[in-house]
Amino acid sequence: MMLLIAIIAIPSKLSAQTCPENIGFENGNFSNWKLFTGLASIDKNKNVIYTNEVNNPASGRHTLISAKTEKDFYGGFSLIPKNGGNFTVKLGNNGTGAQADGISYLLNVPADRPEFTLTYQYAVVLEDPNHPLEEQPRFIARVKDLEKNAYIPCASFEYVATSSLPGFTKSKVNNSVIYKEWTPVTINLSGYQGKKLLIEFISADCALGGHFGYAYVDVNNLCGDLIVGNTFCKSADELNISGPSGFKNYNWYNADRSVKYGSGQSITLKPTPAEGSKIILDLMPYDGFGCPSSVEAVVHSVDYQVLVQEKYTVCENTEIDLTSANYILNKNEGFTYLVYQDKDLTQQVLA
């Protein structure tokens, strides 16, 4: 069996962070997640969702998906996002009955990470019966600061079925159904170091009970800085940097904003900026889905370049450590090594 892998080496003092255990469902189960079922209802002309925790996944309501070739019936998109992991979760179904289904994860933001992010991808399928907004099917993604017992405004979103909902398309299978294909969202949790945060995803049917709503969720397995690529090898003549996913506009500047480096989620700077120089990124979200913000990173260089075996053949079912000296030819104790199955660094191999 021949392995095609991607290996990155990061100085230990600048180490990227793997996300908490199984936050991306890569164990193939719901360990560390809490599961909920409930009902959507109307109270004083407001949509209210009541849920109760359940010990096991509800059949057809909390569904783990691993089939990369399967498509959604109404939207025709893949059930696993292109740059996603090996598993996604489907919340809800195309049944009715005012059902609501949710999952939550308790996230302890590391105390030593003043800049910290979490990225997830979602896809939504909602029936649109043209009811008043409080009665419509919906998908909710939100983050609660448990210390304040309040949801973080710039990290909490509610998608209610309407024909004008940005990014949604009418189904070719059923004209009363709208859908949104996989979309990435990066939650900026900078400033929450040492805090306990609750990540919640909820899908809900029409509150009157006659129309459905469901969603798919995939959480990335890398958490860390908003800007990546600011650490480079001294031998490199260019710097490739990227910002977080899911924003409308990206604008890059030097420290005093006298130079605009470019626009877009990823840019290349050539020649490389000076050691210790600061890069500023202005982020503009889509209307109604986040807050404008500015983040920064400091350029660091390292005198190191990872060398790996170009090709290595092993017997099927053989257990190997891809971070060992057999595969990384110049392994250094001052670096953290992460191994991935794909070039987009979404499917981590835990050695």
Main-chain dihedrals φ then ψ at residue 106, nearest 5 degrees: -85, 115
Place of tokens 């977080």: 244
Task: Please give the structure tokens belonging to residue 321.
Answer: 């450590």
Task: Please give the structure tokens belonging to residue 180.
Answer: 């949104």
- Region of poorest pLDDT, from 48-57, 73-82, 303-312: 303-312
Nearest to 141 by CA among 193, 177, 105, 93: 105
- Can you give the pLDDT at residue 195? 94
More confident site: 61 or 120: 61
How far CA 240 is from CA of 10, 14, 46, in Å, comes to 15, 17, 47
How much of the chain exceeds pLDDT 70, in percent?
Answer: 88
- Can you give the pLDDT at residue 2? 44
Instruction: Give burial (CB, 10 Å; 0-12/13-18/19+) of 129.
Output: middle
Nearest to 115 by CA among 188, 181, 59: 188
Are the CB atoms for 37 and 51 separated by under 8 Å?
Answer: yes
How far CA 113 is from CA of 10, 13, 25, 325, in Å, comes to 16, 12, 23, 30
How much of the chain exceeds pLDDT 90, in percent?
Answer: 50
Nearest to 120 by CA among 66, 178, 81, 158: 81
| Strand positions, DSSP E, 66-192 | 88-91, 99-108, 117-127, 138-145, 150-151, 157-160, 169-170, 177-188
Nearest to 127 by CA among 207, 35, 196, 242: 207
Are the CB atoms for 322 and 291 separated by under 8 Å?
Answer: no
- Region of poorest pLDDT, from 101-105, 128-132, 332-336: 332-336
- Can you give the pLDDT at residue 45? 92
Four-point Cα dihedral 319, 324, 325, 329, nearest 10: 100
Instruction: Give burial (CB, 10 Å; 0-12/13-18/19+) of 176.
Output: middle
- 339 has pLDDT over 80: no
- Can you give the pLDDT at residue 199? 96
Task: Please give the structure tokens belonging to residue 318.
Answer: 């053989």
More confident site: 158 or 54: 54
- Can you give the pLDDT at residue 232? 76
- 21 has pLDDT over 70: yes
How far CA 276 is from CA of 230, 297, 303, in Å, comes to 10, 9, 15
- 18 has pLDDT over 70: no
Is residue 271 reached through a cis peptide bond, with omega within 30 degrees of 0 on the bond before it?
A: yes
Residue 325 pLDDT class (50, 70, 90 cuts)? confident
Q: Mind listing the pLDDT tens digit for each residue in 248-292? A: 899 999 999 999 999 999 999 998 888 899 999 998 887 766 778
Task: Please give the structure tokens belonging to residue 90.
Answer: 């489907």
In this prediction the pTM is 0.78
For residues 343 and 77, give the distance between their C-alpha atoms in angstroms, rounded to a whole number. 22
Residue 1 pLDDT class (50, 70, 90 cuts)? very low
In single-letter form, the type of residue at position 204 comes to A
Q: Mind listing the pLDDT tens digit for each residue in 107-142? A: 998 888 887 888 888 999 999 999 999 999 999 999
Residue 84 pLDDT class (50, 70, 90 cuts)? confident
- 37 has pLDDT over 90: yes
- 58 has pLDDT over 60: yes
- The mean predicted confidence, pLDDT, of the chain is 85
Are the CB atoms for 330 and 307 separated by under 8 Å?
Answer: yes
For residues 35 and 55, give the distance between their C-alpha atoms in angstroms, rounded to a whole number. 7
Give 134's DSSP letter: G
Tell me the chain's radius of gyration from C-alpha atoms. 22
- 170 has pLDDT over 70: yes
